[in-house]
Amino acid sequence: MTDIYRAIADPIRRHILRKIAQHECSQQEIVRDFSISQPAVKKHLAILQEEDLLIVRREGKYCYYRLNTPVFQQGYQHLQSELGLILEDKLSRLKYFIEEEDGDGSGIHER
């Protein structure tokens, strides 16, 4: 399964994903968007490839990248689900805390 957290953890990878989601790009086009070296961009592309988020097409000596949309959508849905569970848990705890505070009659719990 794709580790969407690893893929989007870095702002450079997020920028690459946004760019290739719009249209297929060559490695040269991607490198031009950044002030970092070509090998550094290539490392980010390698991570995105490891997470199966890129479809790579080779044409001669050039590589072209596009978003692997189904895998990205699956990872995004998984991320939304996990964040939803975290928020649901936090809201449940907040509700419990508020109800406990109101239950002692003071509305404010002193420590």
Q: Residue 23 sits in which domain range?
A: 1-105
What pLDDT was estimated at residue 39? 95
Q: For the domain that residue 78 is a member of, what is the CATH number? A: 1.10.10.10
Amino acid 79: pLDDT = 83
Tell me whether residue 38 is in a domain: yes
* Dihedral sign of CA atoms 4, 9, 10, 11 in order: positive
For residues 99 and 101, what is the distance between their CA atoms, to the nearest angstrom?
5
Number of folded domains that form the chain: 1
The whole-number pLDDT of residue 3 equals 86
- pLDDT for 82 equals 87
Domain-embedded: residue 110:
no
Specify if 75 maps to a domain. yes
One pLDDT digit (tens) per residue for the chain, 111 residues: 678 889 999 999 999 999 999 999 999 999 999 999 999 999 999 999 999 999 999 999 999 999 999 999 998 898 888 888 888 888 888 888 888 877 765 555 554
